[in-house]
Amino acid sequence: MGRHERTLRAIFEEPTRSDVTWRAVEALLLALGAELTEGRGSRVRVALNGIRAVLHRPHPNKELSRAMVRSLQEFLANAGVR
């Protein structure tokens, strides 16, 4: 199992995990062909398969909050990634 597959499984795992790192998510999104552009502050605009979202890079921690992981689940599902 590759690292992107492990990240994807961690994102969709129930109960929602709180140890998913931004670095792993960013690498996964780029591997899926997503377009990432920097916004103001910690915002990152993501476009994948015609679906757009604005994610927030976590700080000062490197892990995403559970709420952000749930938002990411919804975005990926809407973009056809499961």
> Quick check: 64 and 58 in contact, CB under 8 A?
yes
| Strands of the chain, DSSP E | 35-38, 43-48, 51-56
Task: State the 10-residue block means of pLDDT for the chain, 82 residues long.
Answer: 92 94 97 95 95 93 94 96 86
- Whole-structure pTM value: 0.92
Sign of torsion, CA 38 27 57 13?
positive
Between CA 8 and CA 24 the distance in angstroms is 9
Q: Which domains, from first to last, does the chain contain?
A: 3-78 (3.30.920)
